[in-house]
Amino acid sequence: MSRLRVHTEDHAGDRIGWLRAAVLGANDGIVSTASLIVGVAAAAASPGDILLTGVAGLVAGAMSMAAGEYVSVSSQADAEQADLSRERQELKDNVEFEREELAQIYVKRGVEADLARKVALQLMAKDALGAHARDELGISEVTTAQPVQAAVASAAAFAIGAALPLVAALVSPASRVIAVVTVATLISLAVLGAVGAKAGGADMWRASARVTFWGALALAITAGVGSLFGAQV
């Protein structure tokens, strides 16, 4: 007699919250810090000023990312809680209407009307608010906003990303800071794009090329601005 094999699946949606924050933070850390370093170096600043700029960019950027993510995701969480409170009250005031509303959602997805009403009845008997949160509001445990998690992930990722061009500037000769930091940054962005795409189940080459292109553009523009101001000074 054969045994039933348990089939487990790993979906990218389970990690979409922290993955988005981590990739965004790391990318921003690499690009913004490298751009600062390259821009200041192009303006003929001293090695000490270049490193100070990089460190300041790392600290300020990490704090900014943490605060920005926390505020942004907190706003999302507040909106979700408001929707849930409103839905909870609607279930209390008119449960029959809400049951039919849930059934119609299933009908629109292709379920026969009678079966849809039975499904709605059974799901609401177990967890009425949870059923409406998932199928009417689109709120689930996977997608629920988590401000602290997003803030910590963004700040940590930014700091790690920013450290890469900073270390490259620290170990490179003063006359080659721009070249070394540029190469290190583009390689780091290419790897980040590939890793983020792999974790999310997307095409690695496309993601890597996209991230590298925008990073190179940011470096080129910043270097041009730095050279312009350096020449004027």
* In-domain check, residue 19: yes
* In-domain check, residue 59: yes
| 3-class SS of residue 170 | helix
* In-domain check, residue 181: yes
Q: Looking at the predicted structure, is the pLDDT value of residue 71 above 50?
A: yes
* In-domain check, residue 3: no
Q: What is the pLDDT of residues 194-209, one digit of tens each?
A: 877 777 677 788 888 8
Q: How many domains does the chain have?
A: 1
* In-domain check, residue 32: yes
Question: Any idea how long the chain is?
Answer: 233
* In-domain check, residue 7: no
Query: Which of 62-66, 158-162, 203-207 has the lowest average pLDDT?
Result: 203-207
Q: What is the pLDDT of residues 1-22, one digit of tens each?
A: 445 454 455 444 445 555 666 7
* In-domain check, residue 6: no
Terminal CA-CA length for the chain: 84
Containing structural domain, residue 150: 15-227
* In-domain check, residue 8: no
